Structure 1
Amino acid sequence: MADRLAQGTDYDQDRPKNMPFAPADGVIYHMFSSPGVQQGLPPASQQVHYQQQQQQQQQQQQHHQQQIMMQQQQQAMVQHQQQHFPQPTHSIHQAIATQNASVGKLMAQAGSNGGGGFAAQQMRRKRQNPGADSHGGSGEPMAVEAVGSMTRRNAFLDTIDPAIRRKVEAAQVYFLEYYVDHLTYIANRRRRLGDFKNAIRSVHTTRQHVQDSWSSHCMNESSILRRRRNRTREREFDILAQIGQGGYGQVFLARKRDTGEVCALKKMAKQLLVKLGEVQHILTERDILRTSKSEWLVKLLYSFQDQQSLYLAMEYVPGGDVRTLLNQNGILRHQIARFYIGEMLVAVAALHSFGYFHRDLKPENFLVDAKGHIKLTDFGLSHGHLSRPTLEAMKKKLDKVKDQEVIYHSSSEKRSFYKNMRQDDMPRAYSIVGSPDYMAPEILYTSLAMDQQRKKKNPDAPQPLADAHLGYDFRVDYWSLGCILYEFLASYAPFTGPSADDVWRNVYHWSKAFHRPEFDSAEAEGNLHPEAWDLIRRLVSHRNERLCSVNEAAAHPYFHAMNLNTLRTSERPPFVPELQSDTDKAYFDDFSNPNDMELYRDVYNKRKELDSLVDAPSAADGVDPAAFIGFTYRHNRLNRNF
């Protein structure tokens, strides 16, 4: 017991006060008492026990009334905020608001015993002096001022550097998570104690059995405390197979040993991320995965780190990606294309609702889940600045081709070009800058302008764009969706060419290079309905004329027979993966197969080149630990029996 108390748990305080340790061995008790006669107790003890029951019932009623009052106050605050302080939805802000509410609720639960605790004291103070919490005697609650301050704070954060903004918001979320975690633990521990009391009262038992049960309960609490102190480690996962390979690391199919969760474990080298300026992109991806609560977005289960690597353990989506589907089918029938582009629109809108836009959408970023529906992933470039190596590589590409004339190619030639380029897709997909098949032109224009400004001014200071026509926003994602729909129905991307340089040039001069696809058969021609072509033109257009919301898309004639709001319940997917188990990896490349490994040969060569940068004498000997502050996360920290 002394050891347990030293670990920070006062078991004597939480011990059931009516637990019968004192009577002699062999006496049978019925611990669940009632106003009637209780077996084995004298009349005086029956009266005392009955009074204790009445007191407990009164305390429970008081606690229930306090919870109702807290809920009413929270609802009133939310209504007032919506009426007077409307805010755009943002993932970090949503996390803060949710956890603020959780803190209040958990404080009420943690302090509910005997009517004590901070929340209960606040309730009594408000009942005794209703005007004490008003601001300046105006009758407005202090929460209104807090909401207004949060509004001004959010507006200020939008004006500062994204890296600094993330640190500010991550710090607030960290402290809120810290207190929510500890208050949840206290509430859950008291709930477990209550369950233990009820279980003992409801059965006939002996003193020895009660003592043994209490010892087991205390040991379980000590075990929970030890597990809470443990950090997530790579060794807690059983690696089942490799399912992906990138320029920065590998992706493995894994199972967590203690929970049995199946996940996709992404492992990335810290030094390489720092050397290539990709730290902010990884932190952005972690933030989006952490804060997203949509069924259309891949969820984060765990994020953790060690001295050499970062790890993202994400939900495993077993159906492969849409690129594989395209490679196997070529042109998609219009019903299938409409289903997938509809789900992609909803998935992208879900990302936008959290305050992010993707900026790097392509078929590889859309995964097919076990039920055949779409999930969006790979948020590394979402709503952040392009890294310096990316900008430099992009500028070299554009400087080389932007002054060249666009060369016209027929649709049959483009299909041939695109087929050949897809065979070399793996190396391009993981290079610093691949082919911009789906990239909106304003990203290219803005990247060039930013590079020119950095040359004229301080290269390390973020500079506003002088040209009002430059810059880009969430509308770039709808351009990408238009290019993907084009590929669904034409079997090649709209700006493809015989080389990557041609693709860069075609996107830069997109208005000259964009044409309706031509087909060799009447069936393929009829598959591209006029409504589909009109939607493509609405998406692949100047940004001020671009269709840019799921509501606009839902109103388009192309979706007249489809309800975009109920796709997961009203539409049957055209393809449902046939899975043998929850760890089936049949829809991913087999890294034990030499033929599949040949596809990744250039990726491995590229990785060796990047590793040589890290191993070079000029490379930093270590990584600043502060670079990855706030990276660690456990999704079920609040869900376990902690």
Structure 2
Amino acid sequence: MNSWQHCVESAESTYLTLFFNSNSRLAKLEESLKDETLSEEQRHEKRLQHAQKETEFLRLKRSRLGVEDFEPLKVIGRGAFGEVRLVQKKDTGHVYAMKILRKADMLEKEQVAHVRAERDILVEADHQWVVKMYYSFQDPINLYLIMEFLPGGDMMTLLMKKDTLSEECTQFYITETALAIDSIHKLGFIHRDIKPDNLLLDAKGHLKLSDFGLCTGLKKSHRTDFYRDLSQAKPSDFSKLITSSPMDSKRRAESWKKNRRQLAYSTVGTPDYIAPEVFLQTGYGPACDWWSLGVIMYEMLIGYPPFCSENPQDTYRKVMNWRETLVFPAEVPISEEAKDTIIKFCCEADRRLGSQKGLEDLKLNQFFRGVDWEHIRERPAAIPVEVRSIDDTSNFDDFPDVKLEIPAAPMPQDGEINYKDWVFINYTFKRFEGLTQRGTPTKK
């Protein structure tokens, strides 16, 4: 496909989406106006308000959004190709998380298709179990994703604070993660990078799924060559597991936690949560996400994932040899129901819990008995989150070595367009709901 054809098709898709979304909002309005308690005057007023919002949204669509519209408050995340900052929109005062990706890195590492896919997924996945994206835009050097800010931090941080979780807490978080996985499967997506780092917690302690990294290849560990390098080991190597320095559960958990955060911020990442069929590259489906859920469940109850090792190659060997390496330490007792559930998640793909009927498989499992699947998000979270203000970042790491200021992009010369920038065309997005968000504007 040449660049002109790509631009035309991308623009057509964007305008069709705008048309369908506008019609959908109008249909929802008309449905709500069927309420018999509303007077004709009230219905007329609501239609006027809707029309004004649609007009304002079209005006917003035409306006140019840039980094100058946001005040950076704090760096709250760092990755291989950029950072995440807490920012405040200057005109409304609303607080967001701004994800910044460097274009040069996207081009050099051949990540363009992947970062585009992440943007498209976040546009489409507009529901309670996925972190919401409100805007996306670009300048000559960066791509920007403006996301909802979830002040509860992530599951990785929670698990590092707590040595292990009770089975009751584990049931709650695994249930919410399962609902999140099911929601993206219904949209036709496979996340492929389900891990504690990507499970974010909102102000009430409920979970949302983020970072379609493995689906979109935003990190080195998500590229085919990473798995190819790991899979260079000979079949006979699968039995050469770490035996030189055996550790009990406590020491193993301490070792895991010591290295865990460093792995989260590195370009290498960790293969601990990845299903064996993904490594084999012989074809995989939604079942790979259910394997990851089983690994997380094990980590919540035991204190570390089942295949953790000193280096990725050894972890890979353990994952591939899971029939022998998936063991439960005697010194950390868990129920037979929990153990059985983990084994049913971490097994052959076609036999895996969730692989046949998705969520319905889990609902029949004994570990999940008593779960109110329909209303779990309405109940109090298993572990309450303390949030003191809309910009509370106490549940996030500090990054003193990363400058708070957003790197300024050089302005292009008159008529000058980077010859490679066509690959990022129509990256810009603005969500209708962003119009109604208000906070306390930044004080000068």
TM-score of the pair, normalised by structure 2: 0.79
Secondary structure at the aligned position of 1:492 is classed as coil
Counterpart-to-counterpart distance in 2, 1:225 and 1:401: 58
Counterpart-to-counterpart distance in 2, 1:297 and 1:179: 23
1:346-394 Cα deviation digits (max 9, x unpaired): 1111111111011011111001101110011001322779989822232
- Alignment correspondent of 1:555: 364
Counterpart-to-counterpart distance in 1, 2:219 and 2:386: 39
Q: Is 1:531 matched up with 2:337?
A: yes
- Alignment correspondent of 1:176: 16
Q: Is 1:580 matched up with 2:413?
A: no
- Alignment correspondent of 2:177: 344
Secondary structure at the aligned position of 1:265 is classed as strand
Superposed displacement of residue 257, structure 1: 1.4
Counterpart-to-counterpart distance in 1, 2:22 and 2:207: 36
1:432-485 Cα deviation digits (max 9, x unpaired): 442210100001111xxxxxxxxxxxxxxxxxxxxxxx3001110000000000
Counterpart-to-counterpart distance in 1, 2:21 and 2:361: 41
- Alignment correspondent of 1:365: 198
Q: How does 1:320-331 map to 2 (within 5 A)?
A: 320-331=153-164
Counterpart-to-counterpart distance in 2, 1:182 and 1:559: 40
Q: Is 1:307 matched up with 2:140?
A: yes
Q: Is 1:407 matched up with 2:241?
A: yes
- Alignment correspondent of 1:565: 374
Larger RCO, structures 1/2 (Cα 8 Å, 6+ apart): 2
Asked whether the equivalents of residues 408 and 513 of structure 1 are also in contact (C-alpha less than 8 Å), the reply is no
Q: Is 1:378 matched up with 2:211?
A: yes
- Alignment correspondent of 2:92: 259
TM-score of the pair, normalised by structure 1: 0.56
Q: Is 1:591 matched up with 2:399?
A: yes
Asked whether the equivalents of residues 406 and 506 of structure 1 are also in contact (C-alpha less than 8 Å), the reply is no
Rate the CA distance shift 1:227–1:567 in 2: closer, same or farther, 3 A. closer
1:4-42 Cα deviation digits (max 9, x unpaired): xxxxxxxxxxxxxxxxxxxxxxxxxxxxxxxxxxxxxxx
Asked whether the equivalents of residues 554 and 563 of structure 1 are also in contact (C-alpha less than 8 Å), the reply is no
Q: Is 1:632 matched up with 2:428?
A: yes
Q: Is 1:515 matched up with 2:355?
A: no
Alpha-carbon RMSD across the aligned residues, in angstroms, is 3.4
Rate the CA distance shift 1:626–1:334 in 2: closer, same or farther, 3 A. same
Superposed displacement of residue 418, structure 1: 4.7
Secondary structure at the aligned position of 2:432 is classed as coil
Counterpart-to-counterpart distance in 2, 1:169 and 1:538: 44
Secondary structure at the aligned position of 1:301 is classed as strand
Structure 1, gaps ≥5 residues long:
1-160, 185-197, 199-220, 447-469, 601-620
| Greater share of helix | 1
Q: Post-superposition, which runs of at least 4 consecutive aligned residues in structure 1 deviate over 6 A? A: 166-169, 180-184, 221-226, 383-389
- Alignment correspondent of 1:296: 129
Give aligned-pair identity as a percent. 33
Q: Once structures 1 and 2 are overlaid, which stretch shifts more, 367-376 or 383-392?
A: 383-392
Asked whether the equivalents of residues 401 and 501 of structure 1 are also in contact (C-alpha less than 8 Å), the reply is no
Superposed displacement of residue 566, structure 1: 1.6
Counterpart-to-counterpart distance in 1, 2:123 and 2:431: 8
Amino acid at match of 1:175: Y
